[in-house]
Amino acid sequence: MKQGRIIKLVGGHYTVQDEAKQTYDLKPLGVFRHRNISPKVGDIVDFDENNIVEVHERVNELYRPMIANVDQVLIVTSAKRPNFSFLLLDKFLAMIEAFNIAPVIIVSKIDLMDTKERMDLEQKLDYYKQYFQVIFYSSKTLEGIPEILVATTDKVNVLAGQTGAGKSSLLNAIQPDLDLETDEISNALGRGKHTTRHVEIFEFGHGYIADTPGFSKLEFIDFQADQLRFYYPDFFAKSSSCKFYECTHTHEPGCEIKRLVSTGEIPEFRYDNYVSMYHEILQIKPKYRRDDK
Ligand SMILES: Nc1nc2c(ncn2[C@@H]2O[C@H](COP(=O)(O)OP(=O)(O)OP(=O)(O)O)[C@@H](O)[C@H]2O)c(=O)[nH]1
Ligand SMILES: [Mg+2]
Ligand SMILES: [Zn+2]
């Protein structure tokens, strides 16, 4: 029996790669259907000549795209076109924390900002640097590429972010020998994802990287509003001083987080985004959650 990682899934056909980088086209054993398991891209599997026979336990799994055992999500958020949004960034950060995956913030298209705009943005992002890695990047000037290469080495990485943020361009900039056009990648993995069912992680240094189509905000949130406090690592680190053990930092008296907002130690905009996300999650009807599982 051999062992490898699933790197590609197209219409029920799996491509598995072993340690020696050899690839195999395989089908899963029928038994998986009875056990209600479907092998996913990223899975470590045992296989014989024709079939995937066992799926190893997963560390985590994303639903859109369907990828298992992700080490890191690169949140690509553009400085301009579309304009930088802290609300979107904070949402992505919380969602990724909820999946128990490490996020890296990539501010793309930094070439489009003038010095003043960039200084303002960098100042605001200084707070985030205490908790997350932040990389300024441009596919035009190639600023940030060395840092991205170091950050992604030996890991399974997934690119996430708004449509047009520059995810596919980033993939091309760091791995030109993939020799794929931006549009080709978008078309293969993007628009028709529900019909084509194509998921792939590309070999990249000693690790892997996956592109994703830009997805719409809170679509795959799968937790309750009162859990949001666990997914803001900065709030969580300071919440032991809140008067109430289960403080949601919204309406409770004696809230340490609100106190830190009033003293300026926590940026007000980040707190406002928390509250707005909290109320947004309360609105989501449970039956719409994780409908594709
Ligand atoms: N000025 C500038 N433009 C960029 C940069 N990176 C990407 N772009 C442009 O931004 C547009 C969108 O880039 P894509 O890489 O296709 O964006 P995407 O995030 O993959 O978008 P979706 O696949 O729709 O989610 C393209 O026209 C790129 O040429 C950059 O660093 N600087
Ligand atoms: Mg794309
Ligand atoms: Zn609190």
Using a cut of 0.85, tell me whether the model's pTM lies above it.
yes
Residues 81 and 102 placed together within one structural domain of the fold: yes
Domain assignment of residue 219, yes or no: no
Find the domain containing 42 and state its range. 2-57
Give me the residues paired with residue 76 across strands. 106
pLDDT digits (tens, 9 = 90+) for 187-212: 444 443 333 457 889 987 678 998 87
Q: Which of 35, 57, 79 is the last residue of a domain?
A: 57
Q: What is the pLDDT of residue 215?
A: 59
- Return phi, psi of residue 42, to 5°: 100, -20
The rounded Å distance from CA 77 to ligand 3 centre is 29
Domain count, the chain: 3
Domain assignment of residue 21, yes or no: yes
Residues 230 and 261 placed together within one structural domain of the fold: yes
- Work out which ligand 1 atom sits closest to the CA atom of 214: 25
The structure tokens 């949140």 sit at 75
Give the ligand with the smallest distance to the CA of 161: 1
Q: What is the pLDDT of residue 198?
A: 78
Peptide bond into 82 cis (omega under 30): yes
Residue located nearest, by CA, to atom 24 of ligand 1: 163
Return the CATH number at 206. Answer: 3.40.50.300
Give the ligand with the smallest distance to the CA of 215: 1
Mean pLDDT by 10 residues, the chain (293 residues): 94 92 91 82 95 94 87 96 95 91 96 98 98 97 94 93 89 74 47 54 84 61 88 97 97 98 98 95 68 42
Domain assignment of residue 169, yes or no: yes
Q: Where are the beta strands (DSSP E) in 196-291?
A: 198-200, 202-204, 207-210
Tell me, using a 6 A CB cutoff, whether residue 252 lines ligand 1.
Answer: no
- Work out which ligand 1 atom sits closest to the CA atom of 108: 31
Question: β-pairing, 44-47 with 133-136?
Answer: unpaired
Q: What is the pLDDT of residue 285?
A: 66
Domain assignment of residue 216, yes or no: no
Q: How far apart are CA 5 and CA 19, in angstroms?
A: 9
Q: How far apart are CA 235 and CA 238, in angstroms?
A: 5
Tell me, using a 6 A CB cutoff, whether residue 112 lines ligand 1.
Answer: yes
Residues 44 and 71 placed together within one structural domain of the fold: no
Residues 71 and 204 placed together within one structural domain of the fold: yes
Return the CATH number at 245. Answer: 1.10.40.50
Residue from 81, 84, 169 whose mutation best tests the ligand 1 pocket (most atoms within 8 A of CB): 169
Tell me, using a 6 A CB cutoff, whether residue 182 lines ligand 1.
Answer: yes
